[in-house]
Amino acid sequence: MADQYAQSGEDKPSTGIPVIRWEEPPEGPVVVLLDQTRLPAEEVELVCTDAPALVDAIRTLAVRGAPLLGIAGAYGVALAAARGFDVEEAAVALAGARPTAVNLSVGVRRAASAHRAALAGGAGAESAAKAALAAARQLHREDAEASGRMAAHGLALLDELLPGGGHRILTHCNTGSLVSGGAGTAFAVALAAHRQGRLRRLWVDETRPLLQGARLTAYEAARSGMAYTLLTDNAAGSLFAAGEVDAVLIGADRIAADGSVANKVGSYPLAVLARYHHVPFIVVAPVTTVDPDTPDGASIEVEQRPGYEVTEVAAPNVPVTGAGGGVPVAPLGTQAYNPAFDVTPPELVTAIVTEEGAVSPVTAEALAEMCARSPQA
C-alpha cells in the first residue's frame, strides 16, 4: 500500500496505514478505504466508486469513528460531484447513514456547501466538483492537525492531574489513527504519553459487541509498541477496585451543548466507575464533535444496531454482517438490545479536551467559550 504520509510530510500516525484516500485512476475517481471490518486479520482495501458504496461502508463500519466519518462524508460528496451524480441527493444519503456522530453531517455539509457555493458563483460542474474535493481535503488536513493539538493538550492535562507520570490509562472503543486524518483523539494522548516514556500501561476494553477495542485499539497499540493489556468490558470494575487505573481516556461521537457525551456503548458505566473510585474521566474530541444545536444528552439520537451483532460473534477473518458469517452465541430467534452508544452526563466528566484546550469542570458556558476560539466554530 502507498504511504500517503511519506508524501505529505504529516506526522505519521500510529498504524502508518492510510485509512482513507482519494485516487483518480483512468476509469474515474474513487475513494479508497482500509476495510476496518477485516482487521486485525487482514489489511484489505475497499474501493468506492460512488456515494452509495460509501454509505454502505459507513453502515457496515468498514469506515468508522467520528472524525473519520466526517472525512469520509466529505469525500463521498466530492465523489458524487466528480462522477456527475446528484450531489444534493448523495449528501442526504451520506449524512443519514449513521445518526449519532455529528462529524458525519458536518463533513458532508462542508463539501456540499463548497459545491453549492461554486455553482452559485457561476462555476461549471467540473469546477464545482473540484471545490467539493478541495473542501474534503481541507477537512482531512485540519483533522490531522487537530490530532496533534489534542494530544498535546491531553498530555498536559494528564500531567497536571497525575503528577509523577507512569500513567495507567483505561480506554474504550477505538480512537487512534484508524478514526482520523492524524493520530486520533484519546488514543493520540496515550500515544504521546508513550512516546515520552510516561505511559505505564494502556488498558484496552474489548468493546462488545463489535470488538473495536480488541480488533482495532489492540492492533494500533501493538504497532505503536506500547505496553497494553486487553480486558473484557465486564472486568473494568475489578480493575478499578484493584487501584490499577489512573485515568480513563475516551473519544466522543457527539458532545451536546451542555457537555453530555455520546460515545461507544459502555462509556457511561466507565464514568460511573471512575467517579466512585475517584479516577479522572477525560473525553478527547475535536471541536467538530461538539454540537451546539443539540442542547442536552436526551436530545442525542443513539443509533440502534441490529440484534445479530449481539447474538453472533465475529469468526476470525469473518466480520459480523448478519449474512451468516458470525458464530451464533444465543439460541436462534433471541432478541437483543443493541444501542451503539450511550450518553454520559457532564457531571461525570472530569474534562473535555479539544484542539483548542481543555475545560474542567465541564459547563455549557466553558464549552461554548472554548469552541468559539476555533475557526471551525
Contact track, ligand MRU, 320-359, x by CB under 6 A: --------------------x-------------------
Characterize the bridge pairing of strands 351-354 and 281-284.
parallel
Here the cell at position 76 is 463521498
Q: How far is the CB of 7 from ligand MRU (least distance, A)?
A: 24
The verdict on whether residue 264 carries a ligand-binding annotation is yes
| Residue closest to 22 by CA, chosen among 187, 177, 139, 185 | 139
Position among 46, 48, 66, 256 found at the interface with ligand MRU (CB under 6 A) = 66
Number of H-type helices and E-type strands within the chain: 12, 16
User: Are residues 327 and 222 in contact, defined by beta-carbon separation less than 8 angstroms?
Assistant: no
Report CA Rg, the chain. 20
Length reported for the chain: 377
Any contact of residue 217 with ligand MRU (CB under 6 A)? no
Give the helix ranges, DSSP H, for 96-164. 102-120, 125-161
Residues 34-63 within binding reach of ligand MRU (CB under 6 A): 61
Contact track, ligand MRU, 260-299, x by CB under 6 A: ---xx-----------------------------------
Any contact of residue 202 with ligand MRU (CB under 6 A)? no
Residue 123 contacts by C-beta under 8 Å, 6 or more apart in sequence? 131
Q: Closer CB to ligand MRU, residue 263 or residue 294?
A: 263
Q: How far is the CB of 175 from ligand MRU (least distance, A)?
A: 4
Q: Closer CB to ligand MRU, residue 125 or residue 231?
A: 231
- In the three-class reduction of DSSP (H, G, I as helix; E, B as strand; rest coil), residue 176 is classed as coil
Q: Closer CB to ligand MRU, residue 29 or residue 251?
A: 251
The verdict on whether residue 64 carries a ligand-binding annotation is yes
Residue 164 contacts by C-beta under 8 Å, 6 or more apart in sequence? none
Q: Closer CB to ligand MRU, residue 175 or residue 350?
A: 175
Position among 185, 260, 288, 311 found at the interface with ligand MRU (CB under 6 A) = 185
- What distance in Å separates the CA atoms of residue 41 and residue 19, rounded to the nearest whole number? 16
Any contact of residue 133 with ligand MRU (CB under 6 A)? no
11 catalytic per annotation: no
Residue 136 contacts by C-beta under 8 Å, 6 or more apart in sequence? 22, 71, 74, 75, 77, 78, 107, 110, 111
Phi and psi angles of residue 3, each rounded to the nearest 5 degrees, phi first = -105, 100
Given the residues 253, 258, 291, 342, the one annotated as active site = 253
Interface residue list for ligand MRU (CB under 6 A): 61, 64-67, 101, 173, 175, 179, 184-185, 212, 251-253, 263-264, 340
Residues carrying an active site annotation: 253
Known binding positions for substrate = 64-66, 98, 212, 263-264
